[in-house]
Amino acid sequence: MQRSVPGPAGRPSVPKLLAVVATAAALVVPPGAATASPAPAGPAVVTTRAALDPALVAGRGARVDYLEQEAEHARTTGTVIGPDRSAYTLAGEASGRRAVRLLPGQYVEFTLPRAANALTVRYSIPDAPGGGGITAPLRVAVGHAPARTMTLTSRYAWLYNQYPFTNDPDADLLHPDWWITECSCVPAATTPAPTISKPFRPHHFYDEQRMLLGRTHRAGEVVRLTAPAGTAAAWTVIDLLDTHLIVPPRVLPHAVNVLAFGADPTGRRQSADAFDRAVAHARRVHRPLYLPPGTFQVDRHVVVDDVTIIGAGSWYTVVKGREVALDTPAPDGSRHTGVGFYGRDAADGGSRDVHLSGFAVEGDVRERIDTDQVNGVGGALSHSTIDGLYLHHTKVGMWFDGPMTDLRVTNTVIADQIADGLNFHTGVTHSSVTDTVVRNSGDDALAMWSEGTANASNTFAYNTVQSPVLANGIALYGGADLTVAHNLIADPVREGSAIHVGARFGAEPFAGRIRITGNTTVRAGTYDLNWNIGLGAIWFYALDRSIDADVQVVGDAYLDSTYNAIMLVSDWPVKDSVRIDGVAFRGIRVDGTGTSVVSARSAGGASFADVDARHVGAVGVNNCGSFHFTPAGSEFRLTDLGGNDGGWLAPWLLPNTITCDDRPPVVPPPPPAPW
């Protein structure tokens, strides 16, 4: 994404923004592009944002250079799968919890909502019988242009078993001494031993591919995606299509050019040493380093400090690398290395004044090894910026180990990661992530983790998170003066939900002001496999210590929550030693819950003002407290500050009536609608 973006205070509304983008897009035609023929009639155009009507999320989420269309709204000879919110299902991991399955010879057709010269297809194809993935063609035809072939792969999808997962569908339990829901037992301690079906817990089914079309096609032309006869894939699932109008490549004639140092833009020769030489020279002469169009093979980290690296645009400049096994583990425990741009370690002083923009990083990570540093961007980067990157197939898109300060991440796409999308880990301060999209992360999409040293004064704002396969859309683990604002989070799958505030994982305490403001979640409130209960779209978890900071949740909208909208919980072994106190909810809209508006499974209390709810599936407040059920009522107290409409917070529930139903039945709500 190559554009200048004003700060949040200057944001236009989404409908106005799309109108401006569409007008500008019609004027941008890459040099040499052919004039498009009149558009043939196609299926009706239904554009969405996170499978929602854009009007429902105006002003929230990332501003992007594409329009999104869900396959289930398109014309197809295939079969719509879903809706299904179960883990380990293709529909459950799909955007909007629906997709289209194509058999060989079947197709799905979309109509371009505006001029486009590039496509992103989110899809799934089967794994190889023994794991490791397959490749298969997808025929892409746009208007009257000759059809092209996109090569799909499942090499970066299909994980199995228990954390940290395996690529082997025939593997036995990785942890037979762990409790599992499937048998409600600890298999290693159960006689007779239970039979566990294989493959066990398949997940992480989807991937995405991008394609430049070579010409600009007009609005109204038809995009047909066909699973051709003879494909190696028994089926092809199409989830969604993003259509882009990409501007021509950026050219920087007066910058240091990486080609001058021997980098190979064809990707046939290794360019890591050339990158090192170019970075050193650019730093020495105080000029930016330019990465022209091409694919550069870089199979290890490029260490950056006091340097600006600018690509031609993430569609044109691709830095690609294989994952390489190390002869001996590195001091940090890494067993592999791979492509990535890394600041120096914080223990060595870190890096500063690093500016990365306008290129893609394509990794080769197919398994989760938590000690491996095989991330797209890493290390410690202070007083630095990252803008307009596309990070794909690395372990974590960006993992920052502080202490470090003043990092700005903007206008970036992080897709198909094995673990987190981005993590501010340990002593990251005065830093932010805005206008960034994270899709199909294998763990928290955006996280701040104050392990050992507190994070402080950081912001996640105006980002879009879609379909994190494990854990949460946005997670805060300790820290002070943190802000989560105006984000759009959709379709978390399991062991987490949309927004999480957790005193866990050895994090420092929450302190100062924690502000969670103006966010929208949809189809969140997921099922927790370990507890065998439903979570909230937003959930607070006291485990290592109590949560008692000034936490205010203001102006959020929780739409179509599978279970609860709001949850406050502590784990059973610590329920009598930790509390959650003083969380204030104000100006909230809850449109649809499968169970309750509030589920309290902790000691403590919270206040509520102007919280409106409709289509609530169970009792408005499911108050279990710490499960002591004292004559004085629950250990969790609710304070009604007025204006709470919809009948969910009736006077008889206050302040601490016990209404505990451990696993209430789920009543699916209707789809979200304008309030």
**What backbone phi and psi angles, to 5 degrees, belong to 300?**
-160, 180
The pLDDT value recorded for residue 21 is 32
With the CA atoms of 347, 349, 355 and 360 taken in that order, what torsion angle do they form, in degrees rounded to the nearest 10?
-20
Confidence of residue 34 (pLDDT cuts 50, 70, 90): very low
Rounded mean pLDDT of 102-119? 98
3-state secondary structure 573-611: HHCCCCEEEEEEEECCEEEEECCCCEEEECEEEEEEECC
Which DSSP helix (H) or strand (E) runs through 285? helix 272-285
Rounded mean pLDDT of 524-532? 93
Confidence of residue 42 (pLDDT cuts 50, 70, 90): low
Rounded mean pLDDT of 289-297? 98
Percentage above 70 pLDDT, the chain: 94
Read off the tokens for 49.
Answer: 């944002």
pLDDT tens-digit map of 278-292:
999 999 999 999 999
* 209: β partners: 121
The pLDDT value recorded for residue 288 is 98
pLDDT tens-digit map of 212-246:
999 999 999 999 999 999 999 999 999 999 999 99
Burial class (CB in 10 A: 0-12, 13-18, 19+), 529: middle
Rounded mean pLDDT of 453-459? 98
Closest CA to 68 of 122, 27, 28: 122
The pLDDT value recorded for residue 363 is 98
What is the pLDDT of the chain when averaged over all its residues?
Answer: 93
d(CA 650, CA 342): 54
Whether residue 509 is predicted with pLDDT greater than 70 in this model: the reply is yes
The string of DSSP codes covering 434-493 is ES-EEES-SS-SEEEE-BSS--BS-EEES-EEE--SSS-SEEEESEEEEEEES-EEE---
Read off the tokens for 393.
Answer: 């197939």
Local structure of 519: helix, strand or coil:
coil
With the CA atoms of 354, 355, 356 and 357 taken in that order, what torsion angle do they form, in degrees rounded to the nearest 10?
180
pLDDT tens-digit map of 140-152:
999 999 999 999 9
The Cα diameter of the chain in Å comes to 79
pLDDT tens-digit map of 243-268:
999 999 999 999 999 999 999 999 99
The pLDDT value recorded for residue 41 is 54
Confidence of residue 43 (pLDDT cuts 50, 70, 90): confident
d(CA 92, CA 107): 22
The amino acid occupying position 175 is: H
Confidence of residue 44 (pLDDT cuts 50, 70, 90): confident
> Does residue 121 or residue 21 have the better pLDDT?
121
The pLDDT value recorded for residue 332 is 87
Pairing label, strands 536-542, 459-461:
unpaired
